[in-house]
Structure 1
């Protein structure tokens, strides 16, 4: 059997465990993919992360099947979540965010990941202590 040919690839940031069909339809309706099946798979894979934004790379093939690859939540979302009303991000929280983001970053060094997260925090007006 010949390999499937990719027809579309879309990255979407969706709420975990409750992907809106309307949002999926806007981006993928023209591909003919089964949106309900896609929603069910995304929701089941992200159910444990409810309340977070979980980006997904959705690859649609020309036979209308799809593949779903999940990413880690956006750094800015994780920083806002860690701040919880504060204006300062502690080293411990910074390290925790960097460890969580490490699979999606282009480094394997935790210190480099921490610098990346700290840069995002500073651009958001958050102090890093």
Structure 2
């Protein structure tokens, strides 16, 4: 591994991190023991419903130690959960479900807690959630 360290981005299901793909190969190639990450990740995501896809940013230092940041669940998953569907549309013109503006607002509140959205106006986050809903085939009704 280089002397600079590395940055690894993964989406792992809450409570289901295992040294199997995708976690094992992604971390093993950087010289990190995947089992150490998995134990800590599973402990920190124990409060989530099992199977929730959680984005994770792992910073690996040159000495092979690591720190990771857990972000809020994936927006499309939150939208599909609110709509009560298990899969998005094959084409965004084919609606698979609908959510209310209240659902959009609640999802935007969850997403606004991420560091990535610090300083971003709530109106912009709501717009992003509505755009994501359209992309997965979920309509937003007033």
1:20: how far off? 2.4
Matched, 1:12 2:22: no
Indicate the residue corresponding to 2:29 in structure 1. Answer: 30
8 Å Cα contact 1:6-1:60 kept in structure 2? no
Indicate the residue corresponding to 1:92 in structure 2. Answer: 102
For structure 2, the 5+ residue unaligned runs are 86-95
8 Å Cα contact 2:16-2:51 kept in structure 1? no
1:17: how far off? 1.1
1:106: how far off? 6.0
RMSD after superposition: 1.6
Normalised to the residue count of structure 2, the TM-score between the two structures is 0.81
For structure 1, the 5+ residue unaligned runs are none
Indicate the residue corresponding to 2:132 in structure 1. Answer: 120
Higher helix share: 1
1:30: how far off? 1.7
- The whole-number CA distance in structure 2 between the counterparts of 1:17 and 1:62 is 27
1:99: how far off? 0.5
Matched, 1:74 2:84: no
1:58: how far off? 0.7
8 Å Cα contact 2:27-2:33 kept in structure 1? no
1:35: how far off? 1.4
* SS of equivalent to 2:102: helix
Number of corresponding residues: 125
Greater alpha carbon shift after TM alignment, 72-81 vs 101-110? 101-110
